[in-house]
Chains A and B, each alone.
Chain A
Amino acid sequence: MTTQKSADDRIALLQGTLDLLILKTLLLAPCHGQGIARSIQRQSEEVFFVDHGSLYLALQRLEDKKWIAAKWGVSENNRKARYYSLTAKGREQLQEKASEWERLTRAMGLILNGTGPGTEEA
C-alpha cells in the first residue's frame, strides 16, 4: 500500500507540468500522442524526456476531464492515429494553468536570484 502511494505522489508531481505542456502543444493544432511527445521534446530542446506511459495516462485523464477531445484519424504518412484536440474548456484551463505557472516561476526566480532576507534588511 505504501509503495503505491509513493508512486502516486511521483505522478502527481509531474502531472501539473505535463498537463500544461500537452495543452500548450495542442493549442496550435490537433495532434496524436507520438506527435505531442516529439513536439515537447523538440521544443524543450530535448531537456524534457516524455515518459510515454505517463503521457498516455495524462491524455486519458485530460480526456476524462473533457479538456481535450479525441478521435481516430490518419497521419501525413498514412498511419492510423488517435488525434487529440483542445476543447473550449481546455483552452480556459490552459490560460489559467499558464498564468499560474508563470506566477510560480517568477516567485521561484525571485527567491533563487535574490540575496536572501538577512542582506535585504541590512
Chain B
Amino acid sequence: MRLFRRKRNAADFAEEIKAHLALEADELASEGLSEDEARRNAKAEFGSVSVAAERFRMRGRAHWADDLIRDLRYGLRGLAKNPGFTAAAILTLALAIGANTTIFSLLDQALLQALPVEDPGQLVVFSFAGSHPGHWHSEGGSTPGHVHEFSYPMYRDLRDRNTVLTGLIAAAEQDAGVTWNNRAENVSTEMVSGNYFQTLGVRPALGRLFVAGDETVKGANPLAVLSFDYWKTHLGEAPVVGQTLLVNGTPFTVVGVAAPGFHSMVWGRRPAVYVPATMEAVVEPERDYVNDRQSYWIDTMGRLRPGVTREQAAAALNSLFLALRKTEFTGLHDQSDKARNEFIGAAHLNVDDGASGFSPLRDDMRTPLTIVMGMVLLVVGMAIVNVASLLLVRAATRVREFSVRYALGATRGQIVRQLLAEGVLLGVAGAALGLLLAPRALDLLIHWMSGPSADHSAFSATLDWRVLGFTIAATLVASLLFSLAPAAQFWNPRLADALKQQMGTGVGGSLRFRRTCVALQIGFSMLLIVAAGLFVKTIDNLRNVDPGFATDRLLSFDLAPEMAGYAPARIAPVEQQALDAIAALPGVRAVGATNDRDLASEDREGDVLVSGYTSKPDEEFDVELPWVSNGYLQTLGVPLLAGRLFDGHDTAASGRVAIVNESFAKHFFGSIGAALGHHVSRPQQDGTDATIVGVVRDVKHESVRDAAMPTCYVLFTQAVKPTELTFYVRTWQAPQAAANEVRAAIAGIDAKLVVGDLSTMTEDIDNNLLSERTIALLAAVFGILATVLAGVGLYGILAYSTAQRTREIGIRMALGARRTAVVGLIVREVLLLAGGAVAVTVPLAMLGSRAVRSQLFGVSIADPGVYGAGIAVILLVAAIAGLVPARRAASINPTEALRNE
C-alpha cells in the first residue's frame, strides 16, 4: 500500500539535504568562516547525511519489500536449522506435485483432451445397433448396440444422402508394407475418405491433402499422404511430393504431408501413411471390403451443420439409416423373420459427442488410468495431511518463540509475515522440485508403457501445464494455510495462556486435530498398500499362469509376403519356404506358424458346421479358427489327446484335415474320442470341409487371463486363400541368440520380405499384460511412498506429542513408573491409533477394491494375505515411528523434567 502512496523519492530528498547544506554553508560563511570550514561545519552540524537519508527511506519507502527479503532470509535460516523437517516437507510436496501432474497429464491426454482439429465441439461419432452378418473387423471399443464399424457402401450412402452434416468422414487402420528408397518397412496405414482432412480442418505441411475427388472407385486412387512424424523421422524430410512409394508392392504417388501434431480421428492411432479408403484391397490383400455391404470395417465421424443439434441430426440420420438397412436386407442370405427383426427391427444409429473422437485404446485405458489417478489422489491427500501435520508440529514448538517475540514488541503482522514467508519458501521449493520430477517421471512412464515401440506411443511426453499450475497452487495454499497455524494463537488475546499451554500436556483441540491427521495418514497408506498388494499379486498370478505350452525359448515374428508385393498364389509357397529354411538352422529345435498370434489379444472367430451335430434352435456358437503350419502344434508343445497331429504328409494336395481342442470336442461330441473322423466346415464357404484327425489339450490363446475357446486348427496350406503368418521358433539356446540367424534366413529367400515384430514369447506376454503391469508398478511405487510418508508423519507427530508430555512423564516416573512402562505407554498409544485407523480403513479398502475388480486376476478383493501384509506393514511402521520418541521419553530424568516448568 505504502509503495503507491509515496509522493517523494529519495533523490528529491537528497536534493533538499544538499540545498540545506549549501544554505548553511552560505550562512556560516557570512558569519566569517572560510568557505571550506563553513561547509565542513554545516555538514557536522547536520549529522550524518546518510543516516538522515536512511531514516527518510525507512519512513516513506515501501519497506515491506525490504522486510520481505529479511523475512525470507529469516525463513531460510529457520528452515535450515531444521533440515529434517524441511527436507520431509519439500520432498512430500514435490512428490505430490510430480505424481499428480504426471498421471493427470496421461489421463488428460487419453480421456479429456479434444482432438487437435478445427472446432472439435461440432464433431459427432457414429455407432449402430442391430445385427451385422458377414465380416466384421474390429479393433475393439465396440459393444452390442454400439458397433462402430460400418460397411463402406453404407458409409457412402449416409455421407451422400444426409442433409444435417457438413461432412461425414471414415477411416480404418491397418499395418502395411511400405517401401521407400528400396527400404521396406511395416508401418501403420490409415485408409481414409477423401473429405477426411478437409472436414477435420487439417492443413498440409507440404503439398496438398486428399480432396473428395481422390476417393472415387475401388482401386482407382493410388495416392498417399504422409504423417508429419513419419516424414520427419523416417524419410528425413525429403521433398516427397510427386514421388512414388510402394504400399504392399503397389506404387502410390505422394501428394503431401499432413500438419504436425495431427495423427488420426481415432485417439491412439499413429498412422505413418494415409491412403484413400478405396485402396483398401491393396492395404489389406487378404480382404476385399470396399464394395461389400456385409463387411463392417470402417469407423466414421461427422461434423454437424451449424445450427443443427445432435438430436436433430440423430433423427434425420436414423430415418436414412433405416431405409438403407431395409434395402440391404433384401440382399442377405437369411431372409427369416428373426433375421429381419435383428437386422431392421433392432437397428438404430447412435450419434454421440465426438469432440475427443472414438477410441478403443481410450476405452482400454479408462479403467487403469482412473485407478491410478485414484491412487495419486490418495497420495496427494496424504501429502497435504503430512505437510499440514509437520507444519503444525513445528508451529507448536514455536509458540514460545513467537510469544516472546510478540512480548518484545513485534507486531502480529510481522509474525504472520514471517510465517507466510516460510510457507512460501517451502511451497516454492516443493513446486520447483516437483517441476523437475514431473517431466522425467512422465518420460519414464511413457517409455515403460510403450515398451519396445516407443515412437508409436499414443501418449506424448508433454506436461499438462494447467494441472501443474493447479497442483502447485493447491499445495502452496495448503502450505501457506498450515504455516499460519502458530499465528492463530496470537488472535487469542490471552497470550500468557498460550505461553503456559505450550508447557502443558498438549491436551485440547490441536491434539485432536493431530490425531486425526495420523489416523488419516494411516488410513490413506493402508488403502494404497492394499491396492499395491492386490495389483502386485494380480500381475504375479498372470505371469505364472500356465498357458498350456512352454513359453520359454520361443521366438516369434510376423511375415507378410503380400506386403512385399507377392501375388496371392505365391504367398503360401514362400511361407512354406521360410518354414523350411528356419527349420534347417542349427540352433532351431522346431518351427511353426499360425495366422492367429497367441497371447496377443487377437482372435479369429467364426461359426462352423459339424457333421453329426445338429445345432440347437437359435444357437450361435463361434469357435476359434486358426490356420497353422503342420509343425505349429509340435513347436508350441500342445499335448495330443487323441488321434494324430499334422505332419509332413498333410500338404496342399492331400485331403483336408483339422485338429480340434478338448473344449471343441466336448461341446460338439460330448467326449474327446468321439470327435475323430467327423467333418467340420464353414457355412456358405466352399472348399472348407475337413476331417478331424486329432484332438489336443486346451491352451490359452487370446491372453493368459482368458480361458481357452473351443478351437479348430486347419492347415494354412489347405486354406481357401493366402494369409500372413506369425512364426514361432523353438530354440535350443536363448531365443534372442537365434534372432539374427532367422533374419538372415528370411533375407536369403527374398530381401524384400519384412521380418516384423521379432520378439520372444515372454516379451509378448509382458506386452499383453501392459496395463496390468503398469498398474502394479505404480501401485507398488505409491504403496511404498505412502508407507514412507505415513512413517515420517507419524514420527513427527509422536516426537512432538512426547516432547509435550515431558512433565507428565516426569511425574509418572517420579511416582515410580518404570522406563519400560513409559515406552509401553507411548507405543500403546500409537498402536491403538494405528489399529483404530486400520479397522476403519479395511472395510473401505474392500469397498474400493470392488471398483477395481475387473483389473484383478486370481485374487479376491478380501484376500487375507494382502490385508494381513498391509496391516503388518502399518503396525510395523507405526511401532518403529513410535519407538524412537518412546525411548527418548524413557530417558527423561524426572527431576529435570519437573524443573523444566
Which residues does A use to contact B, with CB under 8 Å? 1-2, 5, 32-35, 38, 51-53, 56-57, 60-61, 75, 77, 79-82
B39-66 vs A, Cβ < 8 Å mask (1 yes, 0 no): 0000001111001100110011000000
Task: Tell yes or no: B26 within 8 A of A by CB.
Answer: yes
Which residues from A are CB-within-8-Å of B8?
A: 60
CB neighbours (8 Å) of B59 from chain A are 57, 60-61
Contact B55 A53 (CB under 8 A): yes
Chain A nearest CB: distance from B204 CB in Å? 67
Asked if B20 and A33 make an inter-chain contact with CB atoms under 8 angstroms apart, the answer reads: yes
Closest A-B pairs by Cβ, 9 of them: A53-B52, A34-B23, A52-B46, A34-B20, A81-B19, A82-B16, A5-B409, A79-B22, A33-B20
Q: How far is the CB of A12 from chain B (nearest CB, A)?
A: 14
Q: How many residues of B contact A (CB 8 A)?
A: 26
Contact (A77, B26) CB under 8 Å given A1-B408, A1-B409: yes
Is B433 engaged at the interface, CB distance under 8 Å to the other chain? no
User: A1-B405, A51-B47, A56-B13 are contacts. A35–B23 as well, Cβ < 8 Å?
Assistant: yes
B408 touches A2 (CB 8 A): yes
B23 to chain A, nearest CB (A): 4
Q: State whether the Cβ of B352 lies closer than 8 Å to any Cβ in chain A.
A: no
Residues of A within 8 A of B47 (CB): 51-53
Whether the Cβ atoms of A52 and B20 lie closer than 8 Å is yes
* Bound-state Cα–Cα, A52 to B47, Å: 7
Given the known inter-chain contacts A32-B23, A33-B20, A34-B23, please indicate yes or no for A57 contacting B46, CB distance below 8 A. Answer: no
Contact of B23 among A57, A61, A79 (CB under 8 A): A79
Which residue from A2, A32, A61 sits with its C-beta under 8 Å from B20?
A32
- B377 at interface by CB-CB < 8 Å: no
User: In the complex, what residues of B have CB within 8 A of residue A1's CB?
Assistant: 405, 408-410
Residues of A within 8 A of B175 (CB): none
Using an 8 Å CB-CB cutoff, how does the interface string of B9-28 with A read, 1 for contact, 0 for none? 00001011101101110110
Whether B26 pairs with A79 at a CB distance below 8 angstroms is yes
Cα A52 to Cα B26 with chains together (Å)? 17
Contacts of A5 in B (CB 8 A): 409
Q: A2-B408, A33-B16, A75-B23 are in contact. Are A52 and B56 (CB under 8 A)?
A: no
Report Cα–Cα, A5/B406, bound state, in Å: 13
B889 CB to nearest A CB, Å = 35
CA distance A61 to B60 in the complex (A): 9
Given A53-B48, A57-B59, A79-B22, 7 more contacts at CB 8 Å? A1-B405, A35-B23, A38-B27, A52-B20, A52-B45, A57-B55, A61-B59
CB contacts (< 8 Å) of B45 on chain A: these are 52
Cα distance, A38 to B46, chains bound together (Å) = 12
In B408-436, the 8 Å CB interface with A consists of: 408-410
Residue of A nearest to B405 (CB): A1
- Taking a contact as CB atoms under 8 Å apart, the answer to whether A56 and B52 are in contact is yes
Chain B residues closer than 8 Å to A33, beta-carbon distance: 16, 19-20
Known: A52-B45, A52-B47. Is A60-B56 also a contact (CB below 8 A)?
yes
Contact check: which of A32, A51, A57, A60 meets B19 at CB < 8 Å? A32
Chain B residues contacting A2 (CB-CB under 8 Å) are: 408-409
Residue of A nearest to B23 (CB): A34
Which residues on A sit within 8 Å (CB–CB) of B405?
1
Identify 8 residue pairs between A and B in the complex whose beta-carbon atoms are under 8 Å apart, listed by A's number: A5-B409, A32-B20, A33-B19, A56-B13, A56-B16, A60-B60, A81-B16, A81-B20
Using A52-B46, A52-B52, A60-B56 as known contacts, say yes or no to A81 and B23 having CB atoms under 8 A apart: yes
Asked whether, in the complex, the Cβ of B27 is within 8 Å of the Cβ of A56, the reply is no
A37–chain B nearest beta-carbon distance, Å: 8
The residues of B that contact A81 with a CB separation of less than 8 Å are 16, 19-20, 23
Cα A79 to Cα B17 with chains together (Å): 12
- Given the complex, which residues of A lie within 8 Å of B15, measured CB to CB? 80, 82
Q: Which residues of chain B come closer than 8 Å to A32, judged between CB atoms?
A: 19-20, 23
Contacts of B22 in A (CB 8 A): 79
Determine how close the nearest CB of chain A comes to the CB of B400; give it in whole angstroms.
16
CA distance A57 to B23 in the complex (A): 19
A17 → chain B closest CB, angstroms = 18
**Looking at B8, B16, B55, which has the most chain A CB atoms within 10 Å of its CB?**
B16
Once A32-B23, A34-B23, A60-B59 are accepted as A-B contacts, the answer to whether A53 and B51 lie under 8 Å apart by CB is yes
Q: Which residues of B contact A57 (CB under 8 A)?
A: 52, 55-56, 59
CA distance A56 to B19 in the complex (A): 12
Contacts A52-B52, A53-B47, A57-B56 hold; do A79 and B409 have CB atoms under 8 A apart? no
